[in-house]
Structure formats: C-alpha cells, structure tokens
Structure 1
Amino acid sequence: MVKQEPIYSFYYLRTISCLGIVLLHFMSGAIGLYGSVISQNELLISQIILNLLLWCVPCFVMITGALLLDKNKQLSLDKILKRYVLRILEALLFCCIIFVVYDVIVHKESFDLYTVIQVFLDFFQGSSWSHLWYLYLLIGIYLLLPIYKVVTKGASDKLIKYLLLIYFVFLSVIPMLETIGIHIAFYIMVSSVYPFYLFFGYALHHGIISLKRYQSFFMIVLSTLCIIFLTIFNQENSHYNLGNVLSNYSSVFVIVQSIGIFSLVDSIKWKNREWIKKLDVLTFGVYLIHMLFIRSILKYLSINPFLNLPVVTISLLVIVVFILSLLTVVILKKVPIINKFI
C-alpha cells in the first residue's frame, strides 16, 4: 500500500476550523448569558459572527470525506469499528465523565451513585454538554462508511455529481422553501445534510468537481454578504422567522460558504511546516475540552466580555481558551489510555 503524503491544506483548514469553533461557542455562550443586557447592535453583530462561523463543522466533515472515501484508502469493517468508531466512543465516555465531575465540583454536590448513573445517561441519551453532538455524528458517519465507500468506489463521476445534486435540492433547497411558506411534497429518505458534505469533500479534493480559485472566492464573498444581509433583515423583521435559513448547516448559504472555503484552502499549495502538522494533531482534543474553559470564564468567573472593548476582550479570551485547551491536550496525550483517543 502506498503511504499517503501529508495534505497540509487539511492541517491548516482543521486548525482554522477548530479556532473558529472555539470562537463560535464562546460567542454563543456569551449571548446566552449576557444577551439580555447588551445593546441591540451588539446582539446583532454577535449573531452575524455566529452565522458566519457555521462553515467550520461542514469543513471538518468534508475533510473526513476527502480522506476516508478515497478509492485508494483501504478500510476494512474491522478497522472502521476498532479504530474509528471505538475511538469516538471512548472520547465520548471520557467527556461525559469529565463534564459530570466538573458540574458536581462547581455546584458543590456530593459524589454518589446518581453521579455514576448520570454519566451513563448522558452517554446514551446525548444529554451531556451540547457540543458533543458532533461525536454522535461521527459515529453515525463511521458506521455507514463501508457503504459510502462502495458508492465512491463503484460510481462514475457523473453519478457522484447526480447524488450531490439530489442531496442539495432535497436537504437544503426544499427545506429553505418550506421556511418561507412554499410547501413541496417531494422528499427523500435521508434526514441529515452531513452525507452531502462528506461526498462533496471527496468530490472536490479528488477533482470530480473542480472550482477555480476565483470561483471559490466569489462563493465565499457572495454567501457571506447574503448571510450578513439576511441576519440584519431577520432581526428587523422577526415575523419572517428566517432562523432556519441562516443558523442551520443545511442552509444554502452555509453550504455555498463551506464549499467555497474548503475549495479555496485545498487549492493553495501550502508550505510543508511541521508546526501546523503538530498543531493539527491536537485539534480533536481541543474540540472535546474547550467548553470547560469557556464555561468557567463566562459562567463561573462571571466575565461579561461585552462590558469593555468587546472586540479586544472577546479576541483575547478566545485566544486564552484556545491556548489553555492546547496545553491541556498536550498534557492529556501523555496520560496512558487517554492518549489513544484524544
């Protein structure tokens, strides 16, 4: 088997996306806690930032598709279950334990049998901290990966494009029309947009769909302007209820923006820097534990980032959260058992 060369564009994209997710979750937490005491302009700007960061998770999924759906990458069912699915299950259980322990400590509760039961309830019911939804998504993707690989291995480029078109129309365009009151009765038996991102990442990276840099840049600019305009319009005309059109991963605008960013970054010939490769290895762990620091800063230290120089304060606090998360992951990677999945 030919050893796959490092893809530095993915290292950069994963790292940038990880930092974007930290900012997204920080802003979301800040709005949730302090949104009622800030001005309408501050609230609007914060909401715009949130909506403009939704590309981060889709780009993660597209990278997964580009790498794992590669026809030349051999993945047995045994390897998928033991290496990929088991790793996420272990990470999920670890997070459920850590977050329950954290909640018990900050709320000054006692450790008892219910604490142990709560861990397993959180694990199976998905009732732990909200950002862990992504782990359940990954498990679902990995479980279906053998089927997805059959599709990419046997389908022609034309059929892949056809699949993407069907996904786009039924999982993005039609739901958007429903939101604005136009009912369409047709549907397909797929409830999630994430397979679309998975296959699109594969199609873009492997040249089935080709976008020139100026096209990718145009898609980014156009979708960004649309998101900004519609966010402002939605706040001033809330009766239209455009929330699902904007704050949703199946949004046409989020899809266009995500594809543009992925395509643009992937088209750049990045220099082979070892530091970005080392940083990339830490991004999964940062995603797992960064909410510990966000919650501590915003909720338990009661720091309102909107009070003084919000742009500076939020930027500095997000950098602090990112650095603290990186350092924590570096330490955790030295711990036996934990280092196998973080």
Structure 2
Amino acid sequence: MKRRMVYPDVLRALSCIAVVFLSVSMAAGSTALSGLLTWAVPLFVMLSGMFFLDGSWYISPRDMARKYAMRLLASYIVWFVVAAVVNQATGGVLQGILSGQGLYLNFLFVMIILYAISPVLRVFTRAAQPKELQFVVIFGYLIGCVYPFFQILLGTTHLADYAMLGFGLIAVFVTGWYLRSAMFTRRQLRVIYLLGGICLLLTLRGFWFGSTAFTTDPAMMIVSPDAVLIAMALFLVVKNTLSGMRLSRRVLRPIAALSQLSFGIYLIHPILLAVLCYMLNRAGVVLPAGVFIPVAAIGLLIVSGALAYLIRKIPKIGKYLA
C-alpha cells in the first residue's frame, strides 16, 4: 500500500489558516499582515499543480470535467446564490464580494482553467528534464509575475500586462510539480530560502506598497513576486522538514481533517466575515485590530469548518459544495 504524503496536508492546512487570517486582516485594514499572508493563495495553486501534473497517473477529460471542473462550477453557482440571498437580506452587506475585483469566487474559474489545460501540461511534465521544468518556472515567473508587478508599480499598466498573468498562473501551477519532483542541491535550497526570507521581511515591513491596493487585487495576489517566492520557500521547508519525520495519528488527524475541509472553509468564511462585520457595525462595536483579527479568524475557522463538515455529509451533492 502506497504511503500517503504528509507534507501536502500540512501545507494545505497552513494555507487554509492563512487565507482566513488574510481575509480578516484585510477587513480590519491591516496592510502589513495582509501583505505577509498573500503567500497562501499561490501555495494553494502549487498544491494543485503537484498532483494534477503528476504523469504517473491518468485522468480522462471526462473524469476531469465530472470530478473536478463540475465541482468547482457547482460550488461557484451555489455559493454565489447563497451570498446574493444574504446580501439582499442584509441590505447589501456582501455587495463588495459579489462584484468586480472583490468577487472571491473568481478563484474557482482560475482553477477550472488550470485543470482544463493540465492534461496538456502533464504531457510536458512527464517528459521534461529538471532543467526544462526549471526554465518554464523561471520564464513564467519573470514574464507573468515580475513584469506585470513592475508595470503596476510604475503606474503604466495596460490590458496586455494583465494578460501576461496567464504565464504566471501556469508557472505557479507547474512550480508545484517542480518543487515536488526536483532534487535540489544545498546551494539551490539556500538561494530559495534566502529569497523567500528576504521577501517575507520586505512584505512584513510594508515595502511593496503603503496601502492594501496591491494585496486586494485577486489576480495579483496569486502571482505577486513576493508571495510566490515565499510560497516556494515554505513549500520546501515543510517538505524537507517532514520527509524524515514520523508524526503520530493524534497529530495527523486534525491536520488531515483541516486539509480536507479547506475548500469548504474558503467558500464559506468570506460570507460569514461580511455578516460579522455588518453586525458589529450595526451594534456600534469597534474592536482593536489586535483583538478582532485573531478572535474573528479563529471563530471563522471553527464555524466555517463545522459548516463545511456538515455540508460534505449531504449525500451525493455534499462533495460538490464544500
């Protein structure tokens, strides 16, 4: 029996926690914490890439559409309707996440596109040598992440610059498989860790921007240069740390449970967060960010996780909704 890899569950659980804290920190207007946590978004994409680009298993286009694309599409429709109903009942509290760049469900369309092209990418990853994978990752990172970022930074952004993000999305997706399969030398690991550490310090100090304008753009959150490098370093740190460790079942069970519920938590928590903020505003309650962020984030993780668990128990359709 093939042994289950532990580190992807750990990374997915960490990403889930970081995404909830990211949403709450953005709601609280904490620029520094928001910038610090944007690595969670590209890490989710990398984790999908490390499995979907594995050439050792085959999935037909029909199964891809039925098992994965349909799940994302069904989730989009259902949760958009739920958010719209809640928005109507609360007098527009969810309007910000139902339109424009605030539509958090757009991430599902990003994943549908990546899943759709994964059979083609898998043909490449199955035959590619490590240096060829490395070239795709670096080229996609420079063209699809670094270039659009600096165009936005310089204030000269055009539609073509955002079109370049497609290269970045593919590069982040391929990076997941590259980090899983490649054998890195100590020197290479040091370079990746150093770059990730530098980016972590710079985002913590609010180096990139003095406001949240950059970090609230869903497209750029996925492919921002600092977020991608931090995600790569974190991926390898967790992978290499856990490769020689044996964790007890008592430790693994909650990690695996959180990993399995991460999709549902992602879908549910923004709606609950918006309603929570609406209720606090109506009651005239103003909490310091240092209190609101940890309390609200932990509460949302628990409630969203419980709801996702219950939804997944619904026969036949539960797995498509959470």
- TM-score, normalised to structure 2, is 0.82
Take 1:156 and 1:86, find their aligned partners in 2: how far apart are those partners? 33
Query: In the alignment, is residue 72 of structure 1 matched against residue 47 of structure 2?
Result: no
Match of 2:306 among 311, 327, 331: 327
Aligned residue runs from structure 1 range 40-119, under 5 A: 46-107=30-91
Q: Per the alignment, in what secondary structure is the counterpart of residue 302 of structure 1?
A: helix
1:143-191 deviations in Å (ceiling 9; x for gaps): 11111111111222222112122112212333344345599xx999853
Match of 1:263 among 219, 228, 236: 236
In structure 2, runs of 5+ residues without a counterpart are 93-97
Aligned length: 305
Q: Does structure 1 conserve the Cα–Cα contact (< 8 Å) formed by 2:43 and 2:228?
A: no
- Name 1:118's counterpart in structure 2: none
Query: In the alignment, is residue 147 of structure 1 matched against residue 120 of structure 2?
Result: yes
**Who wins on radius of gyration, i.e. which is larger?**
1
Aligned residue runs from structure 1 range 177-188, under 5 A: 177-179=150-152, 181=154
- Name 1:119's counterpart in structure 2: none
Query: In the alignment, is residue 14 of structure 1 matched against residue 17 of structure 2?
Result: no
Take 1:208 and 1:187, find their aligned partners in 2: how far apart are those partners? 33
Distance change >3 Å, CA 148–CA 308, structure 1 → 2:
same
Q: Per the alignment, in what secondary structure is the counterpart of residue 70 of structure 1?
A: coil
Aligned residue runs from structure 1 range 164-243, under 5 A: 164-179=137-152, 181=154, 190-192=164-166, 193-207=168-182, 209=184, 215-229=191-205, 231=206, 234-235=209-210, 243=214
Distance change >3 Å, CA 180–CA 131, structure 1 → 2:
closer
Amino acid at match of 2:21: L
Take 2:89 and 2:36, find their aligned partners in 1: how far apart are those partners? 35
Q: Per the alignment, in what secondary structure is the counterpart of residue 71 of structure 1?
A: coil
- Name 2:222's counterpart in structure 1: 249
In structure 1, runs of 5+ residues without a counterpart are 32-45, 109-121
1:282-329 deviations in Å (ceiling 9; x for gaps): 111000111121011112332899944531332111101110101111
Q: Does structure 2 conserve the Cα–Cα contact (< 8 Å) formed by 1:203 and 1:209?
A: no
1:64-114 deviations in Å (ceiling 9; x for gaps): 111111121221112111111111111111111211221222239xxxxxx
- Name 1:280's counterpart in structure 2: 259
Take 1:62 and 1:153, find their aligned partners in 2: how far apart are those partners? 17
CA shift, 1:276, in A, is 1.5
Distance change >3 Å, CA 97–CA 312, structure 1 → 2:
same
Q: Does structure 1 conserve the Cα–Cα contact (< 8 Å) formed by 2:130 and 2:182?
A: no
CA shift, 1:210, in A, is 5.5
Deviates more, 1:302-311 or 1:149-158: 302-311
Q: Per the alignment, in what secondary structure is the counterpart of residue 222 of structure 2?
A: coil
Q: Does structure 2 conserve the Cα–Cα contact (< 8 Å) formed by 1:213 and 1:267?
A: no
C-alpha RMSD of matched pairs (Å): 3.4
Take 1:17 and 1:54, find their aligned partners in 2: how far apart are those partners? 10
Percent identity among equivalent residues? 20
Take 1:268 and 1:306, find their aligned partners in 2: how far apart are those partners? 43
CA shift, 1:216, in A, is 4.9
Q: Does structure 2 conserve the Cα–Cα contact (< 8 Å) formed by 1:170 and 1:187?
A: no
Amino acid at match of 2:52: L
CA shift, 1:138, in A, is 0.9
Amino acid at match of 1:277: A
CA shift, 1:251, in A, is 2.8
CA shift, 1:228, in A, is 3.2
Take 2:281 and 2:204, find their aligned partners in 1: how far apart are those partners? 30
1:34-78 deviations in Å (ceiling 9; x for gaps): xxxxxxxxxxxx101111111001111111111111121221112
Deviates more, 1:246-255 or 1:201-210: 246-255
Take 2:144 and 2:209, find their aligned partners in 1: how far apart are those partners? 22
